[in-house]
Amino acid sequence: MKPRAKRAQTARRDGFTLVELAIALAVVALLAGGLLYTVGAQTEQRRFDETRRRLDRARELVLGFAVMNGRLPCPARSSTLATEVRDAATGRCWDGAVEDYYGGSLAGGATGGLLPAASIGFPHTDAAGFAIDAWGNRLRYAVAKSVASGTCAGSFTNPHWVNAANMKANGIGCQPGDLLICKSAAVSPALSSSSCGGTPVGSGANQITAKSLVAALVFSLGPNGRAGATGADEAANLDGGGNADPVFVFHAPTGAGSAGGEFDDQFSWISVGELYGRLITARLLP
Ligand SMILES: [Ca+2]
Ligand SMILES: [Ca+2]
């Protein structure tokens, strides 16, 4: 073989090897990409699980607070040091000017309806002391303000209905009367500040819980945090004006293309029966 032909053959062999190398690299890249995707999905699942645990811990601490104090705590707000905002003289969840039972944006740029981490002893907090989920977003908390009419006797001097002393004196038939958890905000008629809307009107078909059931509610804004609350369903959880809107939406996670928009919030609520059970066990109620 002449030297030139031999060189050409060598070049062809080199070229073939480069193509093989390129294919091998592509396969490795695909495998690595798949591995990274799997690791990313596992990390996200761990955050969901950890947030679930924190919500469960939060509800236990809120119930513990109720046992110790004979009442549920009021929410904290972003302008406090993660402690409940409550007027001791009247028992109202307010600072003397603004009430805050359900959360949302308050006057002066403050955010209300935060879990009162310092008051209940919640261990997972940000630098300012506020309770956070596994994504670092502050946990939200709402507490029933009103009493369902006709379910308890006597006069309640404390507008914050959960008061063991009052209940002991007046009977424990009291039920909450305002917090509502709905299935969807993409309904007609729309949600109002006191109903889940939907049809047939007045049927409660869009309700998960009745007003007489939920004493308190803890929730996480999920991985998309507050900024992601652009869909109707998530927006319903942040549209309270402190004391204006006790109506919330909860369901399994959905993507941006769904009727109510992207949804990844996680909820945990305390029913009135569970609260009474704890207070009776602790002998705070007969
Ligand atoms: Ca969310
Ligand atoms: Ca709402």
- Asked whether residue 286 is assigned to any structural domain, the reply reads no
94 pLDDT band (50/70/90 cuts)? confident
For a pLDDT cut of 70, what percent of the chain falls above it?
84
- Asked whether residue 57 is assigned to any structural domain, the reply reads yes
104 alpha carbon – ligand 1 mean position (Å): 14
- Asked whether residue 111 is assigned to any structural domain, the reply reads yes
276 alpha carbon – ligand 1 mean position (Å): 31
- Give the closest ligand to the alpha carbon of residue 240: 2
Q: What is the pLDDT of residue 157?
A: 44
CA distance to 51, 115, 165, per residue, from 220 (Å): 8, 10, 32
Helix, strand or coil, per DSSP, at residue 242? strand
The total of structural domains in the chain comes to: 1
- Asked whether residue 196 is assigned to any structural domain, the reply reads yes
202 alpha carbon – ligand 1 mean position (Å): 28
- Asked whether residue 186 is assigned to any structural domain, the reply reads yes
Q: Which pTM does this prediction carry? A: 0.84
Rounded to an integer, what is the distance from CA 39 to the centroid of its chain?
25
Q: Which residues pair with 219 in a beta bridge?
A: 140, 267
Q: How far apart are CA 37 and CA 250, in angstroms?
A: 28
Q: How far apart are CA 215 and CA 151, in angstroms?
A: 14
- Give the closest ligand to the alpha carbon of residue 193: 2
Name residue 153's amino acid: A
Q: What is the largest CA-CA distance in the chain?
A: 113
Helix, strand or coil, per DSSP, at residue 11? helix
262 alpha carbon – ligand 1 mean position (Å): 8
- Give the closest ligand to the alpha carbon of residue 244: 2
246 alpha carbon – ligand 2 mean position (Å): 6
156 pLDDT band (50/70/90 cuts)? very low
Q: Identify the domain containing residue 101 by its residue range.
A: 3-281
- Give the closest ligand to the alpha carbon of residue 231: 1
Is 139 a residue whose pLDDT tops 80? yes
- Asked whether residue 67 is assigned to any structural domain, the reply reads yes
Structure token digits, residue 37: 């995707």
Q: pLDDT tens digits for 109-134?
A: 899 999 999 999 999 999 999 999 99
